[in-house]
């Protein structure tokens, strides 16, 4: 005996079949039920509702239309939809909006005891009364005009964005998620949220609400666009913080330059200037100043150690040798008022450290003599 492969039908199923009924199905079922009303439906229900809609509108029997083709079209046209396959094999796949919370998802789960055919017929029957006619598809020229108009609108928003308004150099108070949002226009942030399907809220009055993990990613991409649109003239918290972090972790100018060419962080010269200005700011504010977040007359633990920075230079000389320390307090102090500080000059990559008094200690053998202390001042230049 020979096993023969069955012949393919003359008219193979195409993804674009029943296009008119598919558009009506998307408008009534997908947009209204799943995205607006946040309902949870089974894939079998959607397929049966689509078959009934094809029969009612085109008079064609589409019972042989495969469920996987319908799922492929929906996943391509609606990336904000989520498809969940239950662990039970006798339960059909669930379809719902990606933004639906877990609690709402549990409350909106369909009853597994009901038949899919009856439920899908009810879907088609309920929506048949609200039909207003088919909507015409926009032409390619209209799509291009819409996208170009939106691009010009965003370009105007980016040019009007002031950027970081804090004095130079920015400190940790100016480089955080809250400050990052101030340099991103609302229109740009909401547009990216709509593109990736994180929200369906059509507004430009405020930033749309999305999940925290997605919020950080969207904010990161938006800051790259702000930095790129200004050709590097408008720094963002991400461009400065990422460049400074990579410099401290690796000390490699090549990695920082590579990230800068890709538009993710500031240039090496800007990062070096920021690091130098932060050191100058520490000297300007005074050596005896208590760090932010700490209080006076509180038991404090201090741990200090010498660390060579080891960054890359062309000649191998001029590297930084500094001291790192850890300061711990068991009881948090009262928040200190933030004083208004004067901005420092940009573009400085080196400076002369102020004179520092060093002490030479001479210790006599145990039990003989006493300790003597001689004050000797020396001046050390920062390399």
Q: Where do the structural domains in the chain lie, given as residue ranges?
A: 19-128, 154-279
H/E stretch holding 350 reads none
Q: Which region among 118-122, 175-179, 218-222, 348-352 has the lowest average model confidence (pLDDT)?
A: 118-122
Distance (Å, rounded) from C-alpha 262 to C-alpha 210? Answer: 27
Arithmetic mean of pLDDT, 190-206: 89
Q: Taking the model in full, what pTM does it have?
A: 0.49
Arithmetic mean of pLDDT, 107-113: 58
Cis check: omega of the bond before 169, within 30 degrees of 0: yes
Distance (Å, rounded) from C-alpha 297 to C-alpha 288? Answer: 14
Contact 212, 198 (CB under 8 A): no
Distance (Å, rounded) from C-alpha 189 to C-alpha 204? Answer: 10
Distance (Å, rounded) from C-alpha 305 to C-alpha 322? Answer: 9
**Res. 53: pLDDT tops 70:** yes
Q: What is the pLDDT of residue 118?
A: 42
Q: What is the pLDDT of residue 12?
A: 44
Contact 180, 237 (CB under 8 A): yes
Distance (Å, rounded) from C-alpha 122 to C-alpha 98? Answer: 24
- Find all residues with CB under 8 Å of 79, minimum gap 6, and list them: 196, 197
Q: What is the pLDDT of residue 132?
A: 44
């Amino acid at each position: 005996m020979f096993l023969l492969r069955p012949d393919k039908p003359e008219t193979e199923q195409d993804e674009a079949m029943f296009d008119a009924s598919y558009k009506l199905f998307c408008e009534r079922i997908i947009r209204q039920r799943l995205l607006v009303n946040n309902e949870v439906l089974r894939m079998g229900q959607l397929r049966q509702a689509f078959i009934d809609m094809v029969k009612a509108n085109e008079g064609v029997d589409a019972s042989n239309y495969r469920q996987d083709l319908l799922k492929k079209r929906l996943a391509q046209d609606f990336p904000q939809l989520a498809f969940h396959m239950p662990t039970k094999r006798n339960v059909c796949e669930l379809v719902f909006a990606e933004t639906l919370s877990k609690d709402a998802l549990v409350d909106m789960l369909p009853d597994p005891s009901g038949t899919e055919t009856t439920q899908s017929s009810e879907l088609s029957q309920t929506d048949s009364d609200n039909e207003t006619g088919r909507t015409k598809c926009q032409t390619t020229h209209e799509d291009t005009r819409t996208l170009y108009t939106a691009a010009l609108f965003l370009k105007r928003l980016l040019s009007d964005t002031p950027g970081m308004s804090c004095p130079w150099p920015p400190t940790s108070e100016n480089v955080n998620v809250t400050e990052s949002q101030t340099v991103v226009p609302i229109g740009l942030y909401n547009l990216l949220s709509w593109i990736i399907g994180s929200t369906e809220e059509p507004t430009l009055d405020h930033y749309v609400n999305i999940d925290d993990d997605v919020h950080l990613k969207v904010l990161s991409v938006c800051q790259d666009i702000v930095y790129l649109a200004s050709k590097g003239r408008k720094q963002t918290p991400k461009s400065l913080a990422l460049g400074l972090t990579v410099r401290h972790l690796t000390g490699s100018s090549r990695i920082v330059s590579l990230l800068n060419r890709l538009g993710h962080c500031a240039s090496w010269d800007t990062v070096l200037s920021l690091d130098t200005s932060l050191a100058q700011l520490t000297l300007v504010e005074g050596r005896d100043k208590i760090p932010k977040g700490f209080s006076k007359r509180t038991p404090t633990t201090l741990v200090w150690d010498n660390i060579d920075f080891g960054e890359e230079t062309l000649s191998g000389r001029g590297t930084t040798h500094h001291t790192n320390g850890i300061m711990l307090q068991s009881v948090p102090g009262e928040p200190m008022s933030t004083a208004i500080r004067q901005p420092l000059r940009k573009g400085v990559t080196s400076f002369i450290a102020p004179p520092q008094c060093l002490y030479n200690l001479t210790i006599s053998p145990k039990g003989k003599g006493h300790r003597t202390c001689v004050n000797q001042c020396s001046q050390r230049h920062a390399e």
